[in-house]
Structure 1
Amino acid sequence: MTSPRHDYSVVIPAHNEAAVIERCLRAVMDDPQGMGEIIVACNGCTDDTAAIARRIAPQAKVLEIAKGSKILALNQGNAAASATPRFFVDADIVVSGKALRALAEKLDDSTEIRAAAPALNVDLTGCSAPVRSYYKVWMQQPYVRVGMVGSGFFGLSAKGLEAVGTFPDIIADDLYVRTRFAPEQRARVERDGAGAPISFTVFPPRDLKTLVRIEGRRRAGDMQLDQAHATDHSKRTTTGGTLLSALGKDGVGLIDLGWYMIIKTVGRISARRKVKAKQPIAWARDDSSRVS
């Protein structure tokens, strides 16, 4: 029997994501024109992630990888996928199949766009005041507003996949993808062909302690990437000027900017200590936001 031909593929790396994998899959499957190919790359799972994925999406390819490794999951999931464009979606992200189809149209290889993502929505439900302040400022930075690719989601055309190649064994996979492309090759797509808004939703840490820990891991991953895989597009986009320009936008005030600077500074110090001590850079998982 011939396998159905798909318009796009979705790769979902998942490590012990039983609490959120159903939410992710039900959103991805929401495409009235027909679902894309779905690959759930379970890695190092000791919970029911794989069983839930098979129950919710029986048509999906569910891989069970013994080792817990997001990079291994990305590479094996990518190898198992057959269609392009190809989307890589963290299991705790929510993005609809309708949004994926709209993006697939933008990632046609007849255009210069190689990597794309919808508009980013941050669900701050239950977050503490410092976390809310941090994200109010972060959402105004060029990383998010100009050609945003990352934060748990990126889509690649066939040529984009070729440029990215095999994912290296690093922490900052999102930034690795982003820095393979010039700004004009990346796109933030806010509306579909009919003009309806499209977005994807992330669920940040709910408390300050977890956010600081995640920020330290993120910064260490950025340093690791700069050392081994820097490109002409690796220059940081957040500057003193972009931070000051955030004031007054969407209610951003001095207190918000203060919390943002404190969290960034503590994270940077933590990362530098780890790198200086030659400590291994490990994934720092956020369980505070992983609720069904």
Structure 2
Amino acid sequence: TDTTVEIADGYRPHALSKGWGWTVLDLAEGGKLNAWNAGEMAAKGQVLIYLDADVLVSPPLVAQIASALSVDAPRYASGRPNVTVSDDDALTRHYTRFWLTTPFMVHGVPGFGVFAMNRAGRARWGNWPDIISDDTFARLNFSPEERLSVPATYDWPMIEGFRRLVQVRRRQDIGVAEIETRYPALMANDDDHDRTEPVLRRALRDPVAFVAFALVRLTIRLPVLRSDNRWVRGR
């Protein structure tokens, strides 16, 4: 147990002063999927926003997302991620610099940390499946044309430390592979990566970042630093 409920409930007076509804669910059964399914049933609005606890949104983000999703057709939206890294972790800083040049980050709407959809979009599936990469599942339920990027930003902290970076990135790879196996039709909605600058050119421009990135990717494929925890997190 923790003080999440008390902290969330502490914002009730401020929300009510703005004329907003404010409902905090204190569920006996834990678990992310149970929380999402219960939250969706309790929510009354036409826009559903899914936000990681360690993400800081800029003031305009929620309003911009709500505006973008105020349409009848199924739509998905997110803001522009500002990936933050501690000054104390040089390897993670170098890794992140190269990661920011990958196709996933350069094209489309990544949606990690915070994503949203309107009710018409959410109607495309029932309860959330018990899978690792639920954010990827949500994103790929929409075509690239249905995924909207709004200009407002949000801060998303990168996993720090070599061990945690390897473990979490390995888990994410497993999560994507799980979707490819269980929901192969969704992969048709992935972004076209052919427009990305070639790896060699990016590596020559920032060789230190490339070496850090390659080291993590190589270690992911080796039988080291493995965790039996399906939900391993870096923070």
Q: Contact 1:128–1:208 (CA<8 Å) still a contact in 2? A: no
Show CA shifts across 1:146-166 (max 9, x none).
Answer: 221421211102221112442
More helix by share: 2
> Equivalent residue for 1:38?
none
Please give the root-mean-square deviation of Cα atoms over the aligned residues, in Å.
2.7
SS at match of 2:26: strand
What is the CA distance between 1:257 and its match in structure 2?
1.2
SS at match of 2:25: strand
Q: Which one-letter code corresponds to 1:243 in the other structure?
A: V
Task: Give the percent of matched residue pairs that are identical in Structure 1 and Structure 2.
Answer: 26
> Equivalent residue for 2:61?
99
Compute the TM-score of the two structures, normalised by the length of structure 1: 0.68
SS at match of 1:163: coil
Counterparts of residues 255-266 of structure 1 (less than 5 Å): 255-266=208-219
| 2:229 matches 1:267 | no
1:65 to 1:243, Cα distance in 2 relative to 1, 3 A: farther
What is the CA distance between 1:94 and its match in structure 2?
1.0
> Equivalent residue for 1:54?
9
Counterparts of residues 1-292 of structure 1 (less than 5 Å): 46-58=1-13, 59=15, 60-110=22-72, 114-190=75-151, 198-230=152-184, 231-233=186-188, 242-244=198-200, 246-247=202-203, 253-269=206-222, 282-287=230-235
What is the CA distance between 1:180 and its match in structure 2?
0.9
> Equivalent residue for 2:18?
none
Give the Cα–Cα distance (whole angstroms) in 1 for the partners of residues 162 and 138 of structure 2: 28
SS at match of 2:94: helix
Q: Which one-letter code corresponds to 1:217 in the other structure?
A: R
Give the Cα–Cα distance (whole angstroms) in 2 for the partners of residues 270 and 219 of structure 1: 15
Q: Contact 1:176–1:225 (CA<8 Å) still a contact in 2? A: yes
Show CA shifts across 1:74-109 (max 9, x none).
Answer: 111111111022111011111145211112111122
Give the Cα–Cα distance (whole angstroms) in 1 for the partners of residues 68 and 189 of structure 2: 24
What is the CA distance between 1:50 and its match in structure 2?
1.0
Give the Cα–Cα distance (whole angstroms) in 2 for the partners of residues 100 and 222 of structure 1: 27
Greater mean deviation of Cα atoms: 58-67 or 238-247? 238-247
SS at match of 1:109: coil
Q: Contact 1:150–1:174 (CA<8 Å) still a contact in 2? A: yes
Higher relative CO (Cα under 8 Å, sequence separation at least 6) belongs to 2
Compute the TM-score of the two structures, normalised by the length of structure 2: 0.83
In structure 2, runs of 5+ residues without a counterpart are 16-21
Show CA shifts across 1:205-263 (max 9, x none).
Answer: 22222111111211121222221123243657668955345457xxx611211211221
SS at match of 2:81: strand
> Equivalent residue for 1:33?
none
Show CA shifts across 1:19-77 (max 9, x none).
Answer: xxxxxxxxxxxxxxxxxxxxxxxxxxx11111111113355322122333212211111
SS at match of 2:24: strand
Q: Which one-letter code corresponds to 1:78 in the other structure?
A: E
Give the Cα–Cα distance (whole angstroms) in 1 for the partners of residues 153 and 211 of structure 2: 28
Q: Contact 2:84–2:155 (CA<8 Å) still a contact in 1? A: yes
Greater mean deviation of Cα atoms: 201-210 or 53-62? 53-62
Aligned length: 225
Q: Contact 1:179–1:234 (CA<8 Å) still a contact in 2? A: yes
Greater mean deviation of Cα atoms: 178-187 or 63-72? 63-72
Structure 1 stretches (4+) deviating beyond 6 angstroms? Answer: none
Q: Contact 1:149–1:188 (CA<8 Å) still a contact in 2? A: no
